Amino acid sequence: MYDPELVPRDTTAVSLDGRYFHFTGPLRSFFEPGGFVTVRLEGGMRELGQVEDVTFSMGGDMHGTGRILGLISEDTRTLDSRRSLPFISAQIQPAEPVEINSLYSGSGDLLDIGTSLSSTDVPAHLLPHRFNRHTFWCGQSGSGKTYALGVVLEQLLLHTSLPMVIFDPNGDFTRLREAKETRETDAIRSLLSRNIRILRPASPDPDSLRVRFVDLPLRAKAAVMHLDPVTDRDEYNELIHLQEVVGSVTGEEVVPTLRQRGTAAALALASRIENLGLVDWAVWAREFEAVTDILDTRPDATVLDLGGFDTPDEPLVVAMAVLDDLWARRERRRPLLIVIDEAHNLGSPDQHSPLHDAVRERLIQIAAEGRKFGLWLLLSTQRPSRIDPSIISQCDNLALMKMTSPVDLDELGTIFGFVPGNMLTRASQFRQGEALFAGGFTATPTMVKMGERLLEEGGADVRVPVRLRPQP
């Protein structure tokens, strides 16, 4: 709890350019990287600053540096981030909650995602309108990524009408239509009124997750069949003319029709389809609605539960169908947030099947060019090296949860050069549910203790069953 009576006034700072400051004083715990300070200038003016770096020795003084974020208004409620003043010697002290909140004055509607890590008095926010950039979400297993992602997505559903599609490999978002508590709040009522579609492989129509083979672009069809245009040129050519050759037959009739044709290429293609077991895949739409048609109606959220398919290629086919279709219709410039949890399943640089290559290349293209068409990625994974570097390098927003590996933190520091190194390093000390947000969607890099989910989690960790002791 912030108590003005307890605030020490024995730390002084200097700033020659009005942008960066150096400070020194006795050891104080709240001057930590990421912490907010108020600089008291002569004449009563005040500036808001953020500590970036601190060094100290036992029994000695503390030294540090930080960045000036702007001039605080007289009533402390607004911040002028375009103005800041240099000073030769000024007193600095921890900022009051109202001064920290001034960071978001005039920003419009905000997402409430939890509280500041250093003070539960200070709410933590993200800027909803800055999800028009790609976001990279990273943290080791169990750090709370999926839970925290859910908190942010709920807030986006509450405060924006930005539609989202969620690639959900573990069924973590399949209960997005259920309130976590029986207590009904306005927020829960609003969330429950949103149009949320949950598409799953085993669900009956209209909630099944399906793809129409004939709608796939040729390259995607070839990837499904592991066909190379040069190495397998005859079969590939048969595939090009498949529609004219077999006509509009049902999936089950494709193989017999090709066999009847009797040419070497048709027979080979028929065997290939049979060997791969393609006709039996649950993912084909047949007479049912395809996921691309459902997405085209732009529900507020569409969860694609990719975990329940029998073959590992089927989730990739869904991803390819969806991403290809979004890309093909990009000129319509209809905004969509493309959320991919466990994004290494789709964007790994190390997986090389025709389907993996096709999906990754489409993701790279969306990362590079999708932004201006309203296709914005939000990718979550455990380590930066698990995602193709050309995808991560296009991300402007970073959410970082607990990460102990110095190699991974170094890599993130290189990619996201705008995040102070000492704040990144603190991620190694994070507890579950603690996160660093940086980039366009925050006013300044911010360390956050995530708030609670309002809707049910689908895939909370399974607990080890305990044996009850017999009563004596």
Give min distance, CB of 72 to ligand ATP, in A.
Answer: 31
Binding-site partner at residue 382 among ligand ATP, Mg ion, none, CB < 5 to 8 Å by type: ligand ATP
Interface with Mg ion, residue 135, by CB under 5 A: no
Interface with ligand ATP, residue 173, by CB under 6 A: no
Out of 213, 362, 457, 458, which residue is the one contacting ligand ATP (CB under 6 A)? 457
Residues belonging to the chain: 472
Name the one residue in this structure whose structure tokens are 């085993």: 202
Interface with ligand ATP, residue 362, by CB under 6 A: no
Interface with Mg ion, residue 146, by CB under 5 A: yes
Interface with ligand ATP, residue 431, by CB under 6 A: no
Give min distance, CB of 437 to Mg ion, in A.
Answer: 17
Contact 13, 28 (CB under 8 A): no
Q: Token pair of 134, please?
A: 């790609």
DSSP string across 121-167 = TSEEEE-GGGGSSEEEEE--TTSSHHHHHHHHHHHHHHH----EEEE
206: preceding bond cis by omega (within 30 degrees): yes
CA atoms of 79 and 104, how far apart (whole Å): 8
Binding-site partner at residue 277 among Mg ion, ligand ATP, none, CB < 5 to 8 Å by type: none
Contact 50, 66 (CB under 8 A): yes
- How many of the chain's residues bind ligand ATP (CB under 6 A)? 15
Which residues, at least 6 apart from 368, have a Cβ–Cβ distance to it below 8 Å?
390, 394
Dihedral angle over CA of 282, 286, 290, 291, nearest 10: 0
Give min distance, CB of 138 to Mg ion, in A.
Answer: 11
CA atoms of 429 and 401, how far apart (whole Å): 10
Give min distance, CB of 4 to ligand ATP, in A.
Answer: 31
Nearer to Mg ion, 145 or 272 (CB): 145
Give min distance, CB of 319 to Mg ion, in A.
Answer: 17
Amino acid at 128: P
Helices (H) and strands (E) in the chain, counts: 15, 18
CA atoms of 112 and 125, how far apart (whole Å): 5
Out of 146, 174, 348, 446, which residue is the one contacting ligand ATP (CB under 6 A)? 146
Other C-beta atoms closer than 10 Å to the C-beta of 167 total 25
Nearer to ligand ATP, 270 or 400 (CB): 400
Give min distance, CB of 263 to Mg ion, in A.
Answer: 49
- How many of the chain's residues bind Mg ion (CB under 5 A)? 2
Interface with ligand ATP, residue 416, by CB under 6 A: no
SS3 378: strand
Out of 38, 65, 174, 382, which residue is the one contacting ligand ATP (CB under 6 A)? 382
Out of 29, 57, 141, 275, which residue is the one contacting ligand ATP (CB under 6 A)? 141
Stretch binding ligand ATP (CB under 6 A), from 65-73, 144-152, 189-197, 198-206:
144-152
Amino acid at 36: F
CA atoms of 190 and 167, how far apart (whole Å): 23
CA atoms of 95 and 49, how far apart (whole Å): 8
Give min distance, CB of 45 to ligand ATP, in A.
Answer: 39
Strand pairing partners for 65? 22, 53
CA atoms of 88 and 331, how far apart (whole Å): 54
Query: What is the DSSP secondary structure assignment for residue 393, as one 8-state letter?
Result: T
Binding-site partner at residue 139 among ligand ATP, Mg ion, none, CB < 5 to 8 Å by type: ligand ATP
Interface with ligand ATP, residue 139, by CB under 6 A: yes
Stretch binding Mg ion (CB under 5 A), from 48-56, 99-107, 139-147, 260-268:
139-147
Out of 46, 125, 134, 145, which residue is the one contacting ligand ATP (CB under 6 A)? 145
Nearer to ligand ATP, 241 or 431 (CB): 431
CA atoms of 387 and 395, how far apart (whole Å): 12
CA atoms of 191 and 153, how far apart (whole Å): 11
Segment 235 to 274, residues that bind ligand ATP, using CB under 6 A = none
Binding-site partner at residue 457 among ligand ATP, Mg ion, none, CB < 5 to 8 Å by type: ligand ATP
Interface with ligand ATP, residue 116, by CB under 6 A: no
Stretch binding Mg ion (CB under 5 A), from 37-45, 142-150, 202-210, 262-270:
142-150
CA atoms of 273 and 226, how far apart (whole Å): 10
Interface with ligand ATP, residue 292, by CB under 6 A: no
Binding-site partner at residue 460 among ligand ATP, Mg ion, none, CB < 5 to 8 Å by type: ligand ATP
Binding-site partner at residue 143 among Mg ion, ligand ATP, none, CB < 5 to 8 Å by type: ligand ATP
Nearer to Mg ion, 251 or 459 (CB): 459
Sign of CA dihedral 280, 282, 287, 291: negative
Contact 138, 158 (CB under 8 A): no
Interface with ligand ATP, residue 144, by CB under 6 A: yes
Q: Where on the chain is the footprint of ligand ATP (CB under 6 A)?
A: 139, 141-147, 382, 432-433, 450, 457, 460-461
Q: Where on the chain is the footprint of Mg ion (CB under 5 A)?
A: 145-146
